[in-house]
């Protein structure tokens, strides 16, 4: 699994226009961006993340190749749509089981969660376009190949996506301290599990959109678990309850 690097204004422009998935674009930080105005317009229109960086950062990624101040990172795998994930569940005759990740920025955590998602029978994973790890080689390695089997949707607005999933009949369970013990919660039926970022947990609007908050019981002095560990335990509790039906 490789993340393709595309450099040069024309090449990056054509990549964006092609509709192929792009993780992010780096643009040389300079006064005014007149010569990059067309690219910036396309990036904003397509909702592709971009960042202004120093020229030395661009040089690091292009190994001496001329980049003209613009470098794009094309996704190693095409992203799905939330509707695609629901369709997979329908085709299997199963209630949807979806994992939503709210700003999981560590690629190793994302990879580990994808690996467990595949093992636990999750139909797909949804991540935000900003402030989140994307499908990079590091994610592929950590997932032990699961990234090739678990559909991943990348959306601009997680709150709107959760509302859409609720309209489609899913119950949304957000994982955070202080909620209902997962071993006492009813986790059967069409289910979306939301795992928050490594440091700050669920965002306020995400939390308010959830139908319920569930928590892992903690008996020691440490008050929280790594996001990928907590998410894995919750996914398997959902699977355990499903297997009882």
Whether residue 101 sits in one domain with residue 29: no
Q: Rounded mean pLDDT of 133-162?
A: 85
Among 74, 97, 113, the domain-final residue is 74
Whether residue 191 sits in one domain with residue 227: yes
Whether residue 165 sits in one domain with residue 107: yes
Among 74, 101, 117, the domain-final residue is 74
Write the DSSP assignment of the chain as a string of letters: --PEEEESHHHHHHHHHHT--EEEEEEE--S--GGGHHHHHHHHHHT--EEEE-HHHHHHHHTT---TTEEEEE-SS--B-HHHHHHHHHHHT---EEEEEES---HHHHHHHHHHHHHHT--EEEEESSSS--S-HHHHHHTTTGGGTS-EEEES-HHHHHHHHHHTTPEEEEEEEEEEETTTS---SSEEEEEEBTTTBS-HHHHHHSSEEEE----SS-----HHHHHHHHHHHHHHHHHT-
Q: Rounded mean pLDDT of 68-79?
A: 83
| pLDDT tens by residue, 177-223 | 889 999 999 999 999 999 988 777 888 999 999 999 999 998 888 77
Q: How many domains does the chain have?
A: 2
| pLDDT tens by residue, 46-57 | 889 999 999 888
Q: Rounded mean pLDDT of 153-159?
A: 94
Q: Which of residues 123 and 61 earns the better pLDDT score?
A: 123
Among 74, 91, 106, the domain-final residue is 74
Domain containing 13 equals: 4-74
Q: What is the CATH number of the domain that holds 134?
A: 3.40.1280.10
Q: What is the CATH number of the domain that holds 18?
A: 3.30.1330.30
């Amino acid at each position: 699994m490789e993340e393709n690097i595309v450099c040069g204004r024309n090449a990056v422009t054509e990549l964006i226009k092609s509709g192929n998935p792009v993780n992010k674009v780096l643009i040389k930080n300079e006064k005014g961006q007149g010569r990059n105005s067309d690219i910036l317009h396309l990036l904003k229109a397509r909702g592709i993340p971009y960042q202004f960086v120093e020229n030395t950062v661009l040089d690091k990624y292009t190994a001496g190749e001329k980049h003209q101040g613009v470098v794009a990172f094309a996704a190693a795998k095409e992203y799905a749509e939330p509707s695609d994930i629901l369709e997979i569940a329908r085709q299997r005759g199963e209630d949807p089981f979806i994992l939503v990740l709210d700003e999981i920025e560590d690629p190793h955590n994302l990879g580990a969660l994808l690996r467990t998602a595949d093992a636990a029978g999750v139909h797909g994973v949804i991540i935000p376009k900003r402030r989140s790890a994307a499908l990079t080689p590091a994610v592929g390695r950590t997932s032990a190949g699961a990234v090739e089997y678990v559909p991943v949707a990348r959306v601009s607005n997680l709150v709107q996506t959760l509302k859409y999933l609720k309209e489609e009949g899913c119950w949304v369970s957000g994982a955070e301290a202080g909620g209902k013990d997962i071993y006492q919660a009813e986790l059967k039926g069409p289910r979306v599990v939301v795992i928050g970022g490594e440091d700050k947990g669920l965002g306020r609007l995400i939390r308010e959109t959830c139908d319920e908050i569930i928590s892992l019981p903690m008996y020691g002095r440490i008050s929280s678990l790594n996001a990928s560990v907590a998410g894995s335990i919750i996914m398997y509790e959902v699977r355990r309850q499903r297997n009882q039906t």
